[in-house]
Amino acid sequence: MGYDTAPSAIHASQLRAVARLALDNEGLIASHPDQAVQAVEAGFKSLPHEDQVGIVQWIDRSLNPPTHPWISTESGAVLGAHDIVGSTFFIAMNMMLAFTVFFLLERNAVPAQWKRSVTVAMLVTGVAFWNYFYMRGAWVKTQQSPTVYRYTDWLITVPLQIVEFYLILQATTNVSVMLFWRLLIASIVMLVGGFCGEVGACSVLVGFVVGMLGWLYILFEVFCGEAGAIAGNANSKACASAFNTLRLIVSVGWAIYPIGYYMVYLGPTFSYHADSVVNIIYNLADFVNKGAFGLCIWAAAKSDVKKGLLA
């Protein structure tokens, strides 16, 4: 976390705020306030120091609700030296920007049939960069999972990644538009299920099952369905190679997300560390999957350039 965990971090004023807020919530502050506060302070001091720090953070958020994450100039807007989760937000954000600039510069250096695919790859990382800019600020300021920002990002970037399958196949043959809609709807079902489970709109198990069904349908379509059959008969080695690599990313790379969801919300790691664990997993998965997704398309496009197919 980004807060100082040294013993001196628990100041007397913070300790008294903890006691008074706890007693006020129970309606006990009116009678014998000094004795009651002293009793709560004694109980607080007996807790493990990590729990003390966590309680102080919660009290601070309760007494000082955050405004827009990047308007404030308070120290809470500065990344802490030991905030591993916050560091992963910064790393992912910077890498998304780097990927976006790279794809922008390379867009005009690929054959015409690949330009739309590279453009979509650029949009994926560009949208992710914009959302990570706000996610990192929300985390540093509140130390809470930026779930809404996260799913806002995914609701745009994941369907765009699914579009890549359609564009790659369309570059070599006529593809039914229904394939596009089936993949798009499945990706939205996958995301809505996960979102509802994480925010409590349904049980975490129901959200997990719905999300898994959407993901499994996508895997069926790209391996055994119409998309897989078309890719198997593609006459372009570059397109076939890109499709197979994207298929590998969707099956192996995307598996990180449901594994992380299960570990945090359904597995033994569910605790007050849940936000930290799930955000580290999601940040690293986004960095790998979004970047690798675009790079494999760029690599396939450049292989056509080497064959003299640049338009």
Q: What is the residue extent of each domain of the chain? A: 7-63, 86-306
Segment (H or E) for 178: helix 177-199
Who's near 8: CB < 8 A, 6+ residues apart?
A: none
Distance CA 283, CA 280 (A): 5
Who's near 252: CB < 8 A, 6+ residues apart?
A: none
**What is the mean pLDDT, run by run of 10 residues, along the chain of 311 residues?**
42 57 53 60 67 59 46 50 84 95 93 89 96 91 87 93 85 82 94 90 92 96 88 78 88 90 73 74 91 90 67 49
Distance CA 95, CA 287 (A): 7
178-199 tens-digit pLDDT = 989 999 999 999 999 999 998 8
How is residue 153 annotated by DSSP?
H
| Residue written as token pair 């895997």 | 219
Kindly calculate the radius of gyration of the chain based on its CA atoms and give it in whole angstroms: 24
208-263 tens-digit pLDDT = 999 999 999 999 999 998 888 888 777 778 788 888 888 899 999 899 999 888 88
Burial 203-239 (b: 16+ CB within 10 A, else e): ebeebbebbbebbebbbebbeebbbbebbeebebebb
**CB–CB of 207/194 below 8 Å?**
yes
Position 37, amino acid: V
**CB–CB of 263/307 below 8 Å?**
no
Token duo for residue 307: 């064959």
Domain 86-306 has CATH 1.20.1070.10: yes
Burial tier of 27 (Cβ tally within 10 Å: 0-12, 13-18, 19+): exposed
Distance CA 152, CA 160 (A): 13
